[in-house]
């Protein structure tokens, strides 16, 4: 039999070592926070020197390219045993807390509370921000344009259901720039109020897109139950809280926000179901070393127009990651092309392509260059 005295002694030594490491971590975290405060003071002093004033909202504390670079370095140098993505998430929260010391940010997102868009906002900015749920994608754009929010988070595409056209349409007339992207794995659960029994469920509520993403599972398991589309999965969760005969399709954040229980987990039809979100703001983002650029273009309505539009990308060996069309409101049966590709608008190759497009298109609008999603 193992010597229990030796085992207890070994545990005490390990726990003492852990306590010592925790003390060092706490000291280092506060040193990092103090450095963040110093950064804020330097930025204010620079603005005061160049412009004579440094009022609220004038100093840009959040630097998307800088945070992307930090997270990439964290993941690249990680040796385990913690997975690189988990370490990056920890650093994400550290940076969020430190940034809040410089200036707490207000982040607008497509609400209400408990949506996947809120989950994407938390993943990108961390918990140390002031979240502001809004009723529509257009309202998120307006909140950021007016300066009431520092940044906004909106969905742009789902891996199974395609593009979110409302987001694309809002970019056409907006002055906002894309500052970042977030990729969020979508895990849909069937949720009910505490005490809800499956045999008593008469209606399943969810956003139309969530119902579509769980279509096969619902047909197999609940073919005769009424399906009711709602404005959001969070709204479905609120209905389920009030009525034990209603089950909602929603994610982890909605379950926690509304105190629901899981009746069936991960019911989405495709295991790799992912939604991509865009972060919108008022400033252009500098190169991070691994970026994307999004543009809107309108071409002359003539044969070969699309080929001519895409030919410069092939010539400069720029990787297209997305191309989509939307009707132009300027004239019937004319279309806008939303094009996304790897590279930053300050890169020489990208700049050359954009200059060529400027000459050959009816309209070119650069929506922004921004870091590719890191975690």
**What pLDDT, in 10s, does the model give residues 245-304?**
999 999 999 999 999 999 999 999 999 999 999 999 999 999 999 999 999 999 877 888
End-of-domain residue from the set 280, 312, 327: 280
Q: What is the pLDDT confidence band of residue 317, given thresholds at 50, 70 and 90? A: very high
**How far apart are the C-alpha atoms of 349 and 341, rounded to whole Å?**
12
84-89: long-range pairs with CB below 8 Å, 24+: 85/375, 88/374, 88/375, 89/375
**How far apart are the C-alpha atoms of 306 and 145, rounded to whole Å?**
32
Residue 56's pLDDT is 53
- Output DSSP code: residue 319: P
The answer to whether 325 and 364 are in contact (CB under 8 A) is no
Residue 15 lies in a domain: no
30-66: per-residue pLDDT in tens? 999 999 899 888 887 877 777 666 555 566 789 999 9
Residue 302's pLDDT is 80
Domain that residue 297 falls in:
285-371
290 and 367 fall within a common domain: yes
Lowest mean pLDDT among 54-63, 86-95, 129-138, 294-303: 54-63
152 and 121 fall within a common domain: yes
Residue 306 lies in a domain: yes
Average pLDDT, the chain: 92
95 and 136 fall within a common domain: no
| SS3 state at 204 | strand
The answer to whether 320 and 338 are in contact (CB under 8 A) is no
Residue 25 lies in a domain: no
Q: Would the pLDDT of 87 be above 60?
A: yes
Q: Residue range 65-83: average pLDDT?
A: 96
Residue 1 lies in a domain: no
Find the CATH number of the domain harbouring 76. Answer: 1.20.59.10
**How far apart are the C-alpha atoms of 312 and 295, rounded to whole Å?**
14
Q: Residue range 341-350: average pLDDT?
A: 98
Q: What is the residue-wise DSSP string for 145-202?
A: HTTSSSEEEEEEEETTTEE-HHHHHHHHT---EEEEEEEEE---EEEE-TT--GGG--
Residue 46's pLDDT is 79
Residue 327's pLDDT is 85
Share of the chain above pLDDT 70, in %: 97
| SS3 state at 279 | strand
Enter the pTM of the model.
Answer: 0.90
Find the CATH number of the domain harbouring 170. Answer: 3.40.190.10
209-255: per-residue pLDDT in tens? 899 999 999 999 999 999 999 989 999 999 999 999 999 999 999 99
290 and 366 fall within a common domain: yes
Residue 7 lies in a domain: no
Structure-block tokens of residue 283: 């400033």
End-of-domain residue from the set 249, 280, 311: 280
Residue 11 lies in a domain: no
What are the strands of the beta sheet with 320-327, ordered from one edge?
320-327, 335-342, 291-298, 363-371
Residue 20 lies in a domain: no
Give the total number of structural domains in the chain. 4
Structure-block tokens of residue 126: 């961390």
Q: What is the pLDDT confidence band of residue 161, given thresholds at 50, 70 and 90? A: confident
179 and 202 fall within a common domain: no
End-of-domain residue from the set 280, 315, 334: 280
Residue 10 lies in a domain: no
Residue 3's pLDDT is 64
Residue 54's pLDDT is 54
> Which segments within the chain are labelled E, that is strand?
106-110, 130-134, 151-158, 162-163, 177-185, 189-192, 203-207, 226-230, 246-250, 261-264, 274-281, 291-298, 320-327, 335-342, 363-371
Nearest CA-CA partner of 226 in 234, 235, 236: 236
Residue 4's pLDDT is 67
């Amino acid at each position: 039999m193992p010597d229990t005295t030796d085992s207890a002694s070994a545990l005490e030594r390990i726990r003492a070592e852990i306590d010592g490491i925790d003390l060092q971590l706490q000291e280092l975290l506060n040193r990092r926070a103090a450095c963040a405060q110093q950064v804020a003071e330097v930025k204010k002093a620079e603005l005061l020197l160049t412009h004579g004033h440094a009022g609220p909202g004038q100093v840009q504390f959040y630097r998307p390219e800088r945070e992307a670079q930090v997270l990439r370095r964290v993941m690249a140098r990680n040796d385990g045993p913690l997975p690189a993505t988990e370490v990056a998430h920890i650093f994400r929260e550290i940076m969020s807390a430190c940034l809040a010391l410089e200036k707490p940010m207000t982040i607008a997102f497509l609400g209400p509370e408990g949506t996947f868009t809120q989950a994407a906002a938390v993943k990108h900015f961390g918990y140390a921000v002031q979240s502001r749920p809004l009723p529509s994608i257009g309202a998120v754009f307006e909140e950021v344009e007016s300066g009431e929010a520092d940044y906004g988070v909106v969905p742009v595409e789902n891996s199974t259901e395609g593009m979110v056209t409302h987001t694309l349409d809002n970019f056409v007339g907006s002055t906002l720039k894309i500052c970042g992207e977030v990729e969020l794995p979508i895990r849909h659960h069937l949720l009910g109020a505490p005490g809800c029994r499956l045999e008593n469920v008469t209606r399943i509520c969810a956003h139309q897109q969530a119902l579509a993403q769980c279509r096969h599972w619902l047909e197999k398991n609940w073919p005769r139950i009424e399906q009711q589309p709602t404005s959001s999965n969070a709204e479905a969760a609120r209905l389920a809280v009030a009525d034990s005969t209603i089950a909602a399709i929603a994610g982890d954040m909605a379950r926690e926000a509304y105190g629901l229980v899981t009746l069936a987990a991960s019911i989405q039809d495709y295991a790799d179901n992912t939604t991509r979100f865009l972060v919108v703001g008022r400033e252009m983002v500098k190169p991070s070393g691994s970026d994307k650029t999004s543009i809107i273009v309108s071409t002359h309505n003539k044969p070969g127009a699309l080929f001519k539009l895409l030919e410069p990308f092939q010539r400069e060996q720029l990787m297209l990651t997305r191309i989509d069309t939307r009707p132009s409101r300027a004239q019937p049966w004319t279309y806008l092309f939303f094009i996304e590709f790897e590279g930053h608008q300050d890169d020489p190759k990208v700049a050359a392509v954009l200059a060529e497009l400027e000459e050959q298109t009816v309209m070119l609008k650069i929506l922004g260059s921004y870091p590719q999603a890191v975690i």
